Every structure is written in structure tokens, then in C-alpha cells.
Structure 1
Amino acid sequence: MADGVVSPYRPPRPAPGDVIAWPATFGDRFIVFVDVEEEFDWSAPRDRRHRAVTAMRAFPAAHRRFAERGIGLACMVDHPVASDAAAVDILNTVVADGRSSIGAQLHPWVNPPYAPLQPGDSYAGNLPIALEAAKLDTLTDLLHEAFGRRPLAYRAGRYGIGPATTALLAERGYRIDASVRARYDYRGDGGPDFSAIGSAAYRWDSLVEIPLTTVFTGRLRALGPALHPLLGRLPFGHGLGAGTGLLQRVALTPEDMPIDDALEAVRSALGEGQQRLLSFSFHSPSLASGHTPYVRDAADLARFWTWWDRMLDCLDRLNAMPTTLDELIAAAAHITDA
């Protein structure tokens, strides 16, 4: 950053040899990430005082619903949650299932040490390297203290990875990064540009990158990576593409993504062999009404759970099996060693 201007960060597109070719024995798998975080007004400026975590009271019941179907949750925990004793107790009970795990999620505006805010600073990768490193150290140490194990997986809040992030993670023993949101571009808000990166897991230096899965559907889906950015330059271009059935970009999340579109995306990704590993994600405050734009009331919350019920039924029919962070680390290491 210079003079308050943020230069957009475009992570390098993985080379073909860096894309992980999961073996046939891996089958089709999926993982569910939860951004376990504080509650705040998404439409307001970020404020370090907003550290409430009351929605964590809904986490045990949510965890039970997933655990009953054999699904562990990859809990990407940020500083306000890891600082709250009650929330830590809840998460320690969750990871006792042997399938769920704790990763790190960095929200720089509520993660010390603090510095005067500059444009774009809600994306940790835009911070000066020393400050990004100090915030990462604070969070990593806090998670180690709270859960008795150093986190091995990381997600930058708001997907705000930067040019120094992967090196900082590797230096601290992280093995997985999940900060890439495939085919999305956040330059308009000062964030990174992932539009050239697809959904396949890949090696990024010493890390394994697991992007949030994005699937193009529609009659022109094969042209999605090139055509979708072009449609974005036209008034209502993306809506026109989706409405006519030509092209739609679908991220695997229950938040603002209709279930019928998500089901079509999953059937396409698995049925056409596009993906062997699907990555889903949602925010923990969506487990209670009134904390996110996606779950404003009881009706929204009911739709949230209907989304998951239908999606998990679909994954069962397609023989897609849940996996965990530890299993992915082991599988990727085995491919390297083979």
C-alpha cells in the first residue's frame, strides 16, 4: 500500500503440475468449512469493538446435525471467538468428535496488535508484512493456548490473502490455506482477484490450497472462466446469463445461493468429473437469526437448514463422502511421497 492506494493482489494461477490429482482410492469427497467469528454489521465500517459471539450458543445443535451424518466441521476460528471462554468450551466439545478440527481465521480489525486503519485494511494481506505477521502470531498462539494444538489450516477473513501470506503461514507450520474463493474478484473493494483461479486443490509453495468451490452451470458453462468476467462488464450481464440458462457462477454455500442452483452445480461438478473435492463454507453467526444478511429471521434460518438437508441428501446419492483437514493433509502428503 502506498499513499492510501491498494494495489490489487492477483495470486498466481497454479501450474498444471501443482494441481493435486487425487487418486482413485480418494473417491469423491467434500469438506465443510465454518468461519467461526464474531457478530457485526456487515454493511458498516469494521470496528474493533464489535466482538460479541452470542451466536456460538447455537453451535452445539448445529454440530450435532452434521455429526449425525458423519460430517466433521473445519472450524476456522478468529480472535474474538478464541478469546471467549464459553465459546472455547463449546468448540473443545465439538472437536472431541474426532472429525472436527480447529483452524485459524484472521479478521484484522479485531485481531491485535492494532494500528490506525487504512483503506483496504480489512483484508489482512494488504497490511504491512510485519503487522500481518504480528497479527498472525497473536492468533496462532491464542488458538494453541485455547485448544492445545497449533492450527494447521488458515483462512484470511474476507478471503484477504496477500503476497506475503503464504510465506508467513509456512514459517509458522501451517499446511493448508483456504483463503482463495475461486473465480471471484474483490478488487472493487480493495481485495484480491481470484478470477483466474479454479476450484481444484493445488500446491502453493509448501502449502495445500483448498479454494471455496465455484462451479459454472448453464449451456455455456465450458466457457465460464472467460465469459463470466466479460458478462460482468455489461449492465445486468450476470443476471442475464443466469436468467437465460446460458451461464451462472455458483459458489457452494447456503448463504445467498439458492439450493436448486447449488444442487445443479454439485451434480455437474461430480457427474462430469470436474471436481473430486468439493469445499463448502458458511459463517457461524448464520446459525442464529439476525446476525448476517443471509439469516435475518426464523424463516431464513429454516431455509438455511433445508438447504443443508437437501444438499447432504444429494451428496449421499452421489456417493460423495465427507473428509477432514487431517485426512486432506495426509492424502496430499501421500501423493507427494508416492
Structure 2
Amino acid sequence: MVPKPVRPWRPDAATPAERIAWPDDFGPHFLVFVDVEEEFDWSAPLDRRHRSTRAMRAFAPAHRRFAAAGVGLNCMVDYPVAVDPASVAILAECVTDGRSEIGAQLHAWVTPPHHEVVDPFTSHAGNLPLALEAAKLDTLTEAIATSFGARPRIFRSGRYGLGPSSLALLAERGYRLDSSMRALHDYGDTGGMDFSGIDSHGFRRDGMIELPLTSVYTGLLRGRGESLYPKAGRWPHGRGAMARLGLLNRIPLTPEGVSIGDALAGIDRAVADSVRLLTFSFHSPTLELGHTPYVRTARDREMFDRWWDRVFDRLARHGVTPTTMADVLAAADRSAGQPDHGARGPALSGH
């Protein structure tokens, strides 16, 4: 059994010394991350037998739509996808666009070795014993390297399950950038981590670049969001009421559960807050009907595409342009006065 702490792990907010001061000629830009994974019933208990990747057949058409807009996809691939030849072939074709990249995503419950009981707590890899987290990370990294011909350099812990030792483990294995922290979110009630003190600005820690998934507070009370938003959640419909009254709303940049209106307001706020690199995300099973709560009908799928059309238009109006992971890493190196490590072989990136 894995012992469960009384309180969830809560990483410290970035210090001024940790924050990345992006070069003046970099940004504002945006990236799109896709959690490329098996499909499973999100309302049911996690089960390591659920490993189907049939929804990947919807990935290539979606990628073509993003590519036509000049937007690359950072494909955070988990183990069931990495060992499925059909999925690998689809993704290998996608990264020939010159803008997309293959990264790693650790779903602990479907990644060997399987020495833990599967439950909400252990599904967050950072909650596992260090040796087991490291072993699963090695399995995933080697599977991706074998399938795509090069080791990944970007990482996400599934379910935002980054732990206190995860960044150091990643740095030891040659990873450059992590995007596991979802800014302003606390998953402690479901066995996860508390990132409510993390904002949307990139920073360096434990030898890694941390690029949180962009979330912002909007509303008249947004300046007190960190303290008020958790309290509002203790009242029935408290958060919804505050959002409707224009007092306080938390907006992550994702088409999954976020309306177009909220997304546009979130972009406006992030730009006003001088976030130089905005990050968007969604899950690959959302591209096919019926796998996630966000796309159940053909109408839902149509609205998914419309969401992106409106978002890309708003970003363009703000002068926020798409960028690539190679350019992000090169800019981060320049800001730190380090050699440019942006080059990458063609197996994982078009650069």
C-alpha cells in the first residue's frame, strides 16, 4: 500500500529568480498541447485493462485542421499509444509538419511496472514511491524512443500528477520542459496535487523549465482569487454564482468544459497580465464522439472546431502567434545565457 498524506503536495510559487525572462524578441506566443492517450470511461474507476486507442483514427484529420492554421501540436504520448503501431504511424506523419512534437505523458496506472493498487491517489505518479515513479518514467521514455527513434524532451504527468521529486527525475533523464502544473488548480480532493499557488508564467526549477497550463482569474475580485476561489467552492453553486455576477471566475485555456466566451475573456486577461507564452490543452479522445464528457454529439464536435476558430481569431487580434517547442527551448536558453539546445532530429519534431 502507498501511504496517503494528510495534505496534498503543494509546490511553492515561483520566486523572481526562478521566473523566465523571455527575450524581448520572443512572444507573445502560444502553444497547443494534446494529451494523446487511450480512451476510457471518465466517470468509472480507473482500470489498467482499459487500453484501447481506437479514437486515434480521429487524430490525423484534426491535426490537418490545426496545421492549416499554422499551429503545431505538442503530442504528449502515453504508454498505450506509444506501443500501438497504428497510433505511432499516425503521429509520426503528423510531426513531419515542421511544427509539431512528440512528448511523453505518464499515465501511471497503465504503465509498467505494475506494483501499486490502482486508485485515485496512486493514479498521480508523483504520489508513488520514488523508485516506482522512476521505473514507470523509464518504461515510458524508452517506449517512445523505440517507437519514434529519439527520446522525448517534454513531459506531462497524467492527471497533473507531478510530485516533489518528479522534476529532478525528468532532468536526470534528459527532459527539458515539464507542463504538468495546471495553474490555479487544486486536485487535493481527488488524491492529487495543489497548484493553486502557481500562476501561468514559466519558470525554472530542479534543472527543468516548468511551463504551467495557462489559467487566469477574471472578475472584479480576481486579485483575491487565490483566497476567495477555494472558499466559494464550499458553498452550493458558489463558484457559478460568483462567475455569473462578474465577481470571480477561473478560466483554463481549454475547449473542454470552457465556453467560447470564457475562453476569449481568459485570453484577454492573460494578455493583459503579460503572459508571454499561453498554453492550451485538450485530450485526444475528445476528437471522437463519446469518449470524454466534452464531445458526446456531432454538435459538440462542431462546437469544438468553432471554439478553436474563435480562439485563433482572438489571439491574432492580440498579436499572439503560434510558436514551436524548438523555438520555446531556444528562447529559454537565450534568456539563461546558455547554448541553444533547440535542434532536434526529425523523429520527434519537424525541426
Runs of 4+ in 1 over 3 A off after TM superposition: 1-7
Task: Tell me which residue corresponds to 2:102.
Answer: 102
Secondary structure of the residue aligned to 1:306 is helix
Task: Tell me which residue corresponds to 1:192.
Answer: 193
1:130 and 1:6 mapped to 2: Cα distance? 22
Task: Tell me which residue corresponds to 1:336.
Answer: 336
Contact 1:6/1:126 (<8 A) preserved: no
| Offset of residue 22 of structure 1 | 1.5
Q: Give 2:9's aligned amino acid.
A: Y
Contact 1:263/1:311 (<8 A) preserved: yes
2:320 and 2:334 mapped to 1: Cα distance? 21
Task: Tell me which residue corresponds to 1:222.
Answer: 223
Task: Tell me which residue corresponds to 2:342.
Answer: none
Q: Give 1:199's aligned amino acid.
A: S
Secondary structure of the residue aligned to 1:26 is coil
Task: Tell me which residue corresponds to 2:349.
Answer: none
Contact 1:200/1:211 (<8 A) preserved: yes
| Offset of residue 23 of structure 1 | 2.4
2:297 and 2:38 mapped to 1: Cα distance? 18
Contact 1:81/1:88 (<8 A) preserved: yes
TM-score normalised by L of structure 1:
0.97
1:235 and 1:310 mapped to 2: Cα distance? 32
Change (3 A) 1:31 1:300: same
Task: Tell me which residue corresponds to 1:165.
Answer: 166
Deviation string for 1:25-56 (max 9, x for gaps)?
11210000000000000111111111111111
Secondary structure of the residue aligned to 1:144 is helix
Q: Give 2:251's aligned amino acid.
A: V
| Offset of residue 24 of structure 1 | 2.2
| Offset of residue 252 of structure 1 | 0.1
Task: Tell me which residue corresponds to 2:291.
Answer: 291
Change (3 A) 1:144 1:233: same
Task: Tell me which residue corresponds to 2:8.
Answer: 8
Task: Tell me which residue corresponds to 1:113.
Answer: 113
Change (3 A) 1:226 1:6: closer
Secondary structure of the residue aligned to 1:296 is coil
Task: Tell me which residue corresponds to 2:265.
Answer: 264
Deviation string for 1:273-322 (max 9, x for gaps)?
43111000000000000000111111111111110111111111211111
Gaps of 5+ in 1: none
Secondary structure of the residue aligned to 1:38 is coil
Task: Tell me which residue corresponds to 1:237.
Answer: 238
Secondary structure of the residue aligned to 2:17 is helix
2:156 and 2:3 mapped to 1: Cα distance? 27
Secondary structure of the residue aligned to 1:279 is strand
Change (3 A) 1:2 1:121: closer
Q: Give 1:295's aligned amino acid.
A: V
| Offset of residue 326 of structure 1 | 1.5
Task: Tell me which residue corresponds to 1:128.
Answer: 129
Secondary structure of the residue aligned to 1:104 is strand
Alignment: residue pair count: 337
Q: Give 2:203's aligned amino acid.
A: Y
Task: Tell me which residue corresponds to 1:179.
Answer: 180
| Offset of residue 19 of structure 1 | 1.1
Q: Give 2:88's aligned amino acid.
A: V
| Offset of residue 11 of structure 1 | 1.4
Task: Tell me which residue corresponds to 2:50.
Answer: 50
Q: Which moved more, 1:210-219 or 1:220-229?
A: 220-229
2:269 and 2:8 mapped to 1: Cα distance? 32
Change (3 A) 1:151 1:172: same
Secondary structure of the residue aligned to 1:33 is strand
Secondary structure of the residue aligned to 1:21 is coil
Q: Percent identity?
A: 56
Gaps of 5+ in 2: 339-351
2:159 and 2:180 mapped to 1: Cα distance? 8
1:335 and 1:301 mapped to 2: Cα distance? 40
Task: Tell me which residue corresponds to 1:303.
Answer: 303
Q: Give 1:84's aligned amino acid.
A: D
Task: Tell me which residue corresponds to 2:322.
Answer: 322
Task: Tell me which residue corresponds to 2:26.
Answer: 26
Q: Which moved more, 1:80-89 or 1:110-119?
A: 110-119
Q: Give me the CA root mean square deviation.
A: 1.4
Secondary structure of the residue aligned to 1:280 is strand
Task: Tell me which residue corresponds to 1:153.
Answer: 154
Task: Tell me which residue corresponds to 1:35.
Answer: 35
| Offset of residue 224 of structure 1 | 1.9
Secondary structure of the residue aligned to 2:174 is coil
1:22 and 1:226 mapped to 2: Cα distance? 29
Change (3 A) 1:17 1:65: same
Secondary structure of the residue aligned to 1:32 is strand
2:328 and 2:161 mapped to 1: Cα distance? 23
Structure 2 residue 59 is the aligned partner of structure 1 residue 59: yes
1:230 and 1:73 mapped to 2: Cα distance? 36
Task: Tell me which residue corresponds to 1:281.
Answer: 281
Change (3 A) 1:208 1:3: closer
1:5 and 1:223 mapped to 2: Cα distance? 28
Q: Give 1:12's aligned amino acid.
A: D
